[in-house]
Amino acid sequence: MRVWYDACTGKQVRYAVAIAKRLRKLGHDVTLTTREHPDTLPLADYLKEKFKVIGKYDPSSLFTRLQAGAQRVLEMSNLFQDVVPDLAIAHQSVELCRVAFGLKVPIILTADTPYADAVNRLTIPLADTLVVSDAIPQRFFRNFGTKKIVQFKGVDEVAWIRSFVPSEKFDFKKPLIVLRQMETRAAYAVDKADLTETLARKLASIGTVLLLPRYDFRPRRDLLVMRGFVDSLNLAAYADLIINMGGTMAREAALLGTPSIVISTFTGSHVNAYVARKGFPLFIVDSSEVMNYAKKYVGRKWDVKEKLDELENPVDMIAKVVQKKAGVTKN
């Protein structure tokens, strides 16, 4: 089958590579697309995977966001004018869903943010199959009119964590505390306060603080700011503590045994709570509690290999769905 995957963020680039490797082994022809974004192109190069770059991410305003998305839809439709894919897969790419739906291409979606109302409305109703963690109650997706839900016992990050082996060393002074800035320009975060820099300055009293900005890479007084690309998995494995307000990097770190603190900015982050319940070192706290938790857990490491082995890999589920659609009974 001809399979198309569109990756809009760094996380989705990792997901795309994991899925593409599996499907290619099964004999499928996989086309990967992405967009210009601070997290996508450098990571794609680092992973040595070829993506077709279509359009860009421009969240400067509602108008630029809409126009950039519309331009991607047009360019994608041109890409497949001669040969249409048999199947489309994405982690809720709005543009992929619009193009695939318009070309009558079946869609497989992954999703893990029930609170992202806008993207849920624009993608889930168009999907043929939703492959999601059993951490999230099905009712959250049923509300958006999904047709079929396949759940797995794990989280999306297992797809690329399970085979990961740390391969880089860093020369940051220990203990190293990494703060990932909140995704301030996402539609679901427009009314949320970004506490990253305030926290970073407080945390400097207990370790070396490295700030990972999303978009603003200017130097900050008294703070280390990562201004170029860094592989977040290697950094998470090396760090003594990870702190963020979303979840992807915190879950990655926790699955590697590095203590992680998630500030409870968004309600409905079931996957974070799931990882914590499974015994991984992920702690969901209010912003007022961060310092106490940081002092308690910085520098500790957990042996989580057995716990990680107990989680299901979503790529296995996705491959089964693809094989079934291809008419193959075993993968």
Encode pLDDT of 106-123 as tens digits.
999 999 998 889 999 999
Percent above pLDDT 70 for the chain: 92
Q: What is the pLDDT of residues 25-52, one digit of tens each?
A: 999 999 999 999 988 999 999 999 999 9
Confidence bin at 246 (pLDDT 50/70/90): confident
| Average pLDDT over the chain, rounded to an integer | 92
C-alpha 184/C-alpha 182 separation (Å) is: 5
* 69 pLDDT tier (thresholds 50, 70, 90): very high
Residue 206, phi then psi, degrees to nearest 5: -120, 0
Distances (CA, A) of 286 to 63, 213, 258, 290, 291: 34, 21, 20, 7, 10
Q: Which two tokens stand for residue 243?
A: 């702190």
The per-residue pLDDT for range 130-171, each reduced to its tens digit, is 999 999 999 999 999 898 999 999 999 999 999 999 998 899
Q: What is the pLDDT of residue 188?
A: 41
Selection from 247, 249, 242 nearest residue 273 by Cα? 247
Q: In the structure, what pLDDT confidence band is assigned to residue 217 with cuts at 50, 70 and 90?
A: low
Q: What is the pLDDT of residue 303?
A: 97
Residue 189 confidence (pLDDT): 44
- Give the contacts of 115 (CB within 8 A, at least 6 positions apart): 188, 266, 267, 268, 269
Nearest 10 degrees: Cα torsion 294, 238, 249, 291: 10
Q: Could you tell me which residues come within 8 angstroms of residue 163 by beta carbon, excluding any fewer than 6 positions away?
A: none
Q: Which residues on adjacent β-strands are paired with residue 176?
A: 208
The answer to whether 263 touches 244, Cβ cutoff 8 Å, is yes
Q: Which two tokens stand for residue 154?
A: 């794990």
User: Does the pLDDT of residue 266 top 70, yes or no?
Assistant: no
Which amino acid is located at 106 in the chain? Answer: P
Stretch among 16-20, 198-202, 308-312 having the lowest mean pLDDT: 198-202
Q: Is 281's pLDDT higher than 70? A: yes
Nearest residue to 242 (alpha-carbon basis) of 254, 231, 234, 226:
254
What is the structure's pLDDT at 93? 98
Q: Which domains does the chain have, with CATH numbers?
A: 2-153+312-325 (3.40.50.2000), 176-310 (3.40.50.2000)
**Residue 209 · residue 223 · CB < 8 Å:** yes
pLDDT at 190 over 60: no
Per-residue burial over 26-63, b if 16 or more Cβ lie within 10 Å, else e, is eebebbbbbbebebbbbbbeebebebeebbebbbeeee
User: Cα torsion at 112, 115, 119, 120 (round to 10°)?
Assistant: 70
* pLDDT score for 151: 98
Confidence of residue 324 (pLDDT cuts 50, 70, 90): very high
Query: Cα(96)–Cα(109) distance, rounded to whole angstroms?
Result: 10
Q: Which of 307, 303, 305, 252 is nearest to 282 (CA)?
A: 252
Tell me, what's the pLDDT at 195? 78
pTM for this structure?
A: 0.92
Q: Which of 6-20, 63-77, 260-274 has the lowest mean pLDDT?
A: 260-274
Give the contacts of 169 (CB within 8 A, at least 6 positions apart).
238
Question: Does residue 227 register a pLDDT over 70?
Answer: yes
Confidence of residue 276 (pLDDT cuts 50, 70, 90): very high
